[in-house]
Chains A and B, each alone.
Chain A
Amino acid sequence: GAVVSQHPSWVICKSGTSVKIECRSLDFQATTMFWYRQFPKQSLMLMATSNEGSKATYEQGVEKDKFLINHASLTLSTLTVTSAHPEDSSFYICMASRGYTFGSGTRLTVV
Chain B
Amino acid sequence: GENVEQHPSTLSVQEGDSAVIKCTYSDSASNYFPWYKQELGKRPQLIIDIRSNVGEKKDQRIAVTLNKTAKHFSLHITETQPEDSAVYFCAGVNYGQNFVFGPGTRLSVLP
Contact = CB atoms under 8 A, between A and B. Distances in A.
Nearest to A103: B43
A46 B98 contact: yes
Interface in B71-111: 89, 93, 96, 98-104
B107 to A, nearest CB: 14
B44 A44 contact: yes
Interface in B33-53: 34, 41-44, 46
Interface string A45-77: 110010000000000000000000000000000
Most chain A Cβ neighbours within 10 Å, of B89, B100, B101: B101
Contacts of A34: 98-99
A46 B99 contact: yes
A105 B101 contact: no
B98 A42 contact: no
Nearest to B87: A41
A107 interface: yes
Given A97-B96, A100-B34, A43 B102 contact: yes
B43 A43 contact: no
Interface of B: 34, 41-44, 46, 89, 93, 96, 98-104
Nearest first, the 3 closest Cβ-Cβ pairs linking A and B are: A102-B43, A43-B101, A43-B103
19 contacts: A34-B98, A34-B99, A42-B103, A42-B104, A43-B101, A43-B104, A44-B89, A44-B99, A46-B99, A46-B100, A49-B98, A95-B99, A97-B96, A100-B34, A100-B99, A102-B43, A102-B44, A103-B43, A107-B41
Interface of A: 34, 42-46, 49, 91, 93, 95, 97, 100, 102-105, 107
